[in-house]
Amino acid sequence: MPSDKKPHTVAVIGSGNWGSTIAKILAENTASHPELFTPKVQMWVFEEQIQIPSDSPHYKRYGDKSQNLTEVINEVHENIKYLPGIKLPENVVANPDLGDAVKDATILVFNLPHQFIEKTLSQMQGKCLPYARAISCVKGVDVSDGTVTLFSELIMEKLGIYCGSLSGANIAPEVAAEKFSETTIGYDAPPMDLKAEDGSPSENRIKVDEQRQAKTKPTSVKLKRVPKELVTVDGELLRTLFGRPYFHVNVLQDVAGVALSGALKNVVALASGFVAGKEWGENGKAAVIRVGILEMVKFGRTWFPRSVDEKTFTEESAGIADLVASCSAGRNFRCAKHAVEKGVSVDEIEQTEMNGQKLQGTSTARSVHEFLEKHGKVDDFPLFSAVYGILEGSTSVDSLPKLLDKRFS
């Protein structure tokens, strides 16, 4: 890289276990690449008062007095509440002030639960650099009124900055413990960024809604070019920023495929849990995973025909690898399995055993079903439909094999 380019400043929005893990990775890389990045990584933390558990090694320091989470993180370099036991690099700076955390950032990394994203974006409007670039690690897509909206799109629309997506087989505590895994980044760099040297226009409109076939009015966003004085934001830069010896990164252009897989896999994970609850063994689980990946491919091909590459589903960490991991572990799988074993509905398990938290798979299965109904495509997705039917109590798990092969129905 030429040394006359200015380095990027990175901020993370969100500080749950996955947000803190990503902040750790980013800070490890910014520290070792000062020619590309300012070492300090701001991490916006929704401030809360915490008490240090008495079995924490930090209890001696703080005692029973409640503390600001941000102060504790900055003092002991550990997110004691959401990622206990993992040392964060000292160049991660917890910041309770959203505007202050993002004001200098040229690369923004969104990593917070999807229910908080809209409100957070509203608070950020006008506070981030107009030429910043973003990566969304937010899982799920928003499906409503026959429209699929990716969170990367929502970020683009609300903030007017380009946004890619990151997803993969990344159970956070395992990544935080530096156990081997892989991830996928979808980032289709705006051409004007890549050609900044040749004097491409400093701003341009890009369409963000190729997939919203049900919309009457196309949406586009006016983007500002990343100033040519800054290091170019391309796949190579993102691999350097996110990749670690224990965390391998593939960068693709397929932003939509990466985000879609991260959402749809939860529906398949429920099906895998149902099959496991019936004790149908590894064959049955493998069959559900296989049919699931095909329906994910078909969903992408049908509604995102120009942008989705089906290899994202069949060959990438965001696709098949995350699906396999979610179908063997994870909350959707476990709750569905437990529901079948106990002979109750998944809703009941959610209510009685999840402390008021909601499963991502159940809401995705319901909104995907509503979406398919609106488009008259329910029959083309027998697994997704069966999962919906089982959740609603209108279909039995025993009928699943029959529903998946019309010859036997």
**Stretch binding a copy of itself (CB under 8 A), from 70-78, 104-112, 120-128, 289-297:** 289-297
**Interface with a copy of itself, residue 179, by CB under 8 A:** yes
Total number of residues binding a copy of itself (CB under 8 A)?
50
Neighbouring C-beta atoms of residue 297, cutoff 10 Å? 21
Binding flags for a copy of itself, 301-320, as an x/- string (CB under 8 A): -------------xxxx--x
User: Which residue number, 129 or 252, has a Cβ lying nearer to a copy of itself?
Assistant: 252
**Interface with a copy of itself, residue 40, by CB under 8 A:** no
User: Which residue number, 234 or 282, has a Cβ lying nearer to a copy of itself?
Assistant: 282
**Interface with a copy of itself, residue 165, by CB under 8 A:** no
Evaluated on CA atoms 15, 16, 22, 24, the torsion sign reads positive
User: Which residue number, 248 or 375, has a Cβ lying nearer to a copy of itself?
Assistant: 248
**Interface with a copy of itself, residue 171, by CB under 8 A:** yes
| CA dist list (Å): 289 to 154, 279, 334 | 30, 16, 15
User: Which residue number, 179 or 207, has a Cβ lying nearer to a copy of itself?
Assistant: 179
265 is catalytic: yes
Closest approach, Cβ 232 to a copy of itself, in A, equals: 18
**Interface with a copy of itself, residue 282, by CB under 8 A:** yes
**Interface with a copy of itself, residue 213, by CB under 8 A:** no
User: Which residue number, 80 or 321, has a Cβ lying nearer to a copy of itself?
Assistant: 321
- Active-site choice (24, 81, 224, 265): 265
**Interface with a copy of itself, residue 334, by CB under 8 A:** no
**Interface with a copy of itself, residue 287, by CB under 8 A:** yes
Out of 33, 77, 114, 248, the only residue in the binding site for a copy of itself (CB under 8 A) is 248
Catalytic residue IDs: 265
Contacting residues toward a copy of itself, per CB under 8 A? 169-171, 174-175, 179-182, 239, 243-246, 248, 275, 279-287, 289-291, 293-294, 297, 314-317, 320-322, 324-325, 328-330, 400-402, 404-405, 407-408
Residue ranges at the known binding site for substrate:
139, 331-332
